Every structure is written in C-alpha cells, then in structure tokens.
Amino acid sequence: MLLHITEVLDAARLAEAQALLARAPWVDGRVTAGHQSAQVKDNLQIPEGCPEHRALGDIVLGALERNPLFISAVLPLRVFPPLFNRYDPGMTFGAHVDNAIRQVTGTTSRIRTDVSCTLFLAPPESYDGGELIVEDTYGEKRVKLPAGDAVIYPSTSLHRVSPVTRGSRLASFFWIQSMVRDDGQRALLFDLDMAINRARGDLPAGHSSPTELTAVYHNLLRRWADA
C-alpha cells in the first residue's frame, strides 16, 4: 500500500526543522547504505548523533505519534530513528530495495523493515527532479510532495530517486516494523478502520454497526499481529 499523508509537520514544526537543516553538517550519504545500495547512491546526509540530527528526529517522531492516519496505516511496533538527506544538482539514488533488517546505530536493537517512509522537507517548487519513484504491480508511482507531507510504501518495493537538476531536495527517511508484517493484511485493516470512522459519522448515535465492525477489526488484528 502506497499512501500520501498530508501535513505530518505543521507550519511551525516545518519551519523549525528547516532551520535545523540549514545549519546542520552534511556527509556522504553512503555511510548508511548497504553494499548494493552504496553502488547507486549519491546524496548527502546529516551525521547520526549530532545535535541537529537528534533535534530533527524528535520533531519527526513527535509528529508521527500524533498522526492518526500514520498509526492506522502502519500499525507501528518500532520506528527506526529518522535519517535526513539532501540531493543537490546531479545527485540521485538508483533503483534498490531497502535492507530487510536495520540495526540502530550505537545499539544492539534491530528492526525488520516492513514499511518505508519519506517525509518531504523542501517545497517542491524549490527544486527540479528528485521524484521518489516506487514500482508496484500497477507500474511506477512518481512522488513529489509538499514540504511537511509524507509517503509510506512497502519496504519490499523497488524504488529510486530521480536526479535533481536545480535546487536541493531535503527529506527525512526511515523504516517501520509493523505489528502486522504482511502488507495485504495491513491494507485490509486500514480500509476497515477508515470504513468504521465513516460509519460513525454517517450512522445515528448508538447504532450497533460501528461497534460490531470494531470487534471484527480487533479480532483480525489479534489474529495477525506479532505483538
């Protein structure tokens, strides 16, 4: 399931994040790439653990915790600490699949990458190129979103970032281990959750259908969840 989530960061938090990005140090992005990805990756990243990285991570994680659409779609068990990248003119990231397991730097903690997320941090009109291109069974999806918006997609997807030809593309990227590892099951639960929310708004107060559907939702989650 590929899903566009609007306004993950509101205007105030986006401005705070952009100020941190402007003064942050940048290093070769291949420092966090696996063997295969390093061969096709050409971008810059903020070093993990520096003050700006920690502050930016707190902003992103705090916003995700308050976003009900993200929670419903992803059903997060663990979220990898957000990373931050920049693509200047000529930079790109060729076709690749994200590593199945990621180890959190400086710890023994590992997560299984079920869902990938890109949070756009630069206005789309400020740069040319830089689309996230995700391949699925229906062909290629080209994604270039307003600053503060995010896209989630299965980590099993082949994807790439097209070359930037003007300006700088800034984004946060990270992975989520879901309580439900199967993308099809997560999609069904998400659709059911959205239907329940619509039923609550459409049906008279006290109608039994939302409660009955909620019971189905939680019984399916109980059957499919790892935790």
Annotated binding site for 2-oxoglutarate: 169
Question: Do residues 56 and 20 make contact, with C-beta atoms less than 8 angstroms apart?
Answer: yes
The maximal CA–CA distance of the chain, rounded, in angstroms, is 59
Mark the binding-site residues for Fe cation, compressed into ranges.
96, 98, 159
Annotated binding-site residue numbers: 96, 98, 159, 169
The secondary structure of residue 97, as a DSSP letter, is -
- Return the exposure string of 13-52: e unless at least 16 CB atoms fall within 10 Å of the residue's CB, then b: bbeebbebbeebeeeebbebbeeebeeebbbbbbebeeeb
Instruction: Give the whole-angstrom CA distance, residue 161 versus residue 96.
Output: 10
Would you state the structure tokens that stand for residue 139, as one six-digit string? 């062909």
Output the CA–CA distances (angstroms, integers) from residue 132 to 2, 10, 193, in the order listed. 12, 22, 28
**Residue 207: which residues within 8 A CB-CB, separation 6 or more?**
199
